[in-house]
A = this chain, B = another copy of it.
Amino acid sequence: MTRDIVIINAKIAAPDPPGGLLADHYVEIGAGRIQALGPMADYPHAAGARVIDAAGSLVMPGLVNCHNHAAMTLFRGLADDLPLMTWLEQHIFPAEARFVRPEMVYWCTRLAAAEMILSGTTTVADSYFYEDEAARAFVEAGMRAVAAQGVIDFPAPGVPDPAENVAAAARFVEHWQGVDLLTPAVFAHSPYTCSSRTLLGAKQLARDAGVPFFIHLAETGAEKKLLAGKWQGSPAAYLHSLGLLDGQTVCAHAVWLDERDIALLAASGAGVVTCPESNMKLASGAAPLAALRAAGVRVGLGTDGCASNNDLDLFGEMDTCAKLQKVRDLDPAAVRAGEVLAMATAEGAGLLGLADVGRVAPGMLADVIIIDLQQPHLTPFHAAANLVYAARGADVQSVIINGRLVMENRRILTFDVAETMEMVRRMAAEVRHCRSGSA
């Protein structure tokens, strides 16, 4: 048996029951997977492995960010406190038209990877323009990614002719299939920016290639009205009528759903990614998570692009997710800490088709993070509650992805973070300069 890394003296956030804690355990990692775990009393001392002493720390599954546009780190804090359509149409779309270039996507995705790894995210589902560059940045960072080429019926960076959008996505998927750590996928932007022909073509591509299909769905009340003008029914019913909802479809946001929409999603097996902080910041609304989960819909958690968040810390997102649902439903038990923890780990991974990600158990892929519990805000420590309501990204000490140590004692080992920040700062100065010139 390969033993690359052994973590000793650890508390482990065990998958069953959610919120359960194993004390004084070891975890053996080899060939990219968790090979074994058990009490320290049974620890089979052996040579050759890198030993990490996790005394006073907690080992838990790495977090899974199910919705991101990573390269948008460039636009962090660029335009805040604005309505979604103003934000998109007057700020983000023009800035994207002008500044999205392959090297922008590469460096700004790399910055996002640094931020995500430093805050305990080990898998991300990403979509943007020039997604080849994003995929390259994730693979180099040693991060697990489901990277989706965006499909939209506008001239887009990298795909100036919208008639080519599905073909471009097909080339992307073909290029990245079989690459370690990377799952290529297809992301149709939304029912209101893609024709039914484009939606059908993109979904067919995803079906043929056996990869996930993503779409933004019912994010705002305005979208719902817009679509109702074109088609007699809700956005979810529209996707259903096109036959787009199935077990390999993942709908991001899903805020404006009625009971029939929830029933349609549940019957189809489609998944939902909720992005509470983005939905709050853009005043889009609060998704009906408790109702979705009660109906049996699988739900993952996402940060969305950090221009509408403005960070990529899934610990904070878990906290907000649980709290938003409680106040939305005026029910403090609407979504419990253990449920949110599942959404941000195994349940989210399942949505992305990654059945062997999201639990610390033998046979699972070795995506684990180590949390420093020796801190006032985690004292006293109760597992699920304090991980969701008190822990933050900065509490993550070390990160292992696919059996490889990628961050140790807050230092990223796979690439130069200072260089990355400097490159993004230079691009941001250019953005700022152009905007102040035109203002």
Using CB atoms and an 8 Å cutoff, list the residues of chain A in contact with chain B. Answer: 73-74, 76-78, 80-84, 87, 111-112, 114-115, 118-119, 221, 277, 279-286, 306, 309-313, 316, 319-320, 322-324, 326-327, 329-334, 336-337, 374-377, 379-382, 385-386, 389-390, 392-395, 417-418, 420-421, 424-425, 428-429
Q: How far is the CB of A288 from chain B (nearest CB, A)?
A: 13
The 3 closest A-B pairs by CB, nearest first: A77-B382, A394-B394, A380-B428
Min C-beta distance of A428 to chain B, whole Å: 3
Known: A111-B376, A380-B74. A281 touches B332 (CB 8 A): yes
Q: Are B77 and A326 within 8 A (Cβ)?
A: no
Within the complex, the shortest CB–CB distance from A381 to chain B, in Å, comes to: 7
Q: Are A389 and B311 touching (Cβ within 8 A)?
A: yes
- A283 to chain B: which residues have CB within 8 Å? 326-327, 329-332, 334
Whether the pair A313, B420 counts as a contact (CB closer than 8 A) is no
Instruction: Enumerate chain B residues within 8 angstroms of A377, measured Cβ to Cβ.
Output: 115, 118-119, 311-313, 393
Q: When chains A and B are docked, how far (Å) is the Cα of A319 from the Cα of B337?
A: 20
> Measured between C-beta atoms, what is the minimum distance from A398 to chain B in Å?
16
> In this complex, which of A119, A330, A390 has the most chain B Cβ atoms within 10 angstroms of its Cβ?
A390
Given known A-B contacts A316-B316, A327-B285, A327-B286, A333 and B394 have beta carbons under 8 A apart: no
CB < 8 Å neighbour of A332 from B81, B324, B375, B428: B81
Closest partner residue, chain B, to A309 (CB atom): B389
Please determine whether A425 and B327 come into contact, CB atoms closer than 8 angstroms.
no
Could you write out 18 A-B pairs with CB less than 8 Å apart? A73-B376, A73-B379, A76-B386, A77-B385, A80-B337, A81-B332, A82-B333, A115-B376, A115-B377, A118-B376, A277-B319, A281-B332, A283-B332, A311-B377, A313-B392, A374-B421, A376-B417, A392-B392
**CA gap between A334 and B428 in the complex, in Å:** 27
Q: A402 to nearest B CB, angstroms?
A: 21
Minimum C-beta distance from A79 to chain B (A): 9
Q: In whole Å, how far is A110's beta carbon from the nearest beta carbon of chain B? A: 9
Contacts of A394 in B (CB 8 A): 392, 394-395
Do B313 and A77 touch across chains, with their CB atoms under 8 A apart? no
- Within 8 Å CB of A320, what residues of B? 320, 323
Determine the chain B residues whose CB is within 8 A of the CB of A326 once the complex forms. 81, 280-283
Q: Are A310 and B425 in contact (CB under 8 A)?
A: no
The closest CB in chain B to the CB of A394 belongs to B394
Structural contact, A379 and B324, CB atoms closer than 8 A: no
Contacts of A417 on B, CB cut-off 8 Å? 376
Contact of A310 among B119, B330, B390 (CB under 8 A): B390
A330 CB to closest chain B CB (Å) equals: 5
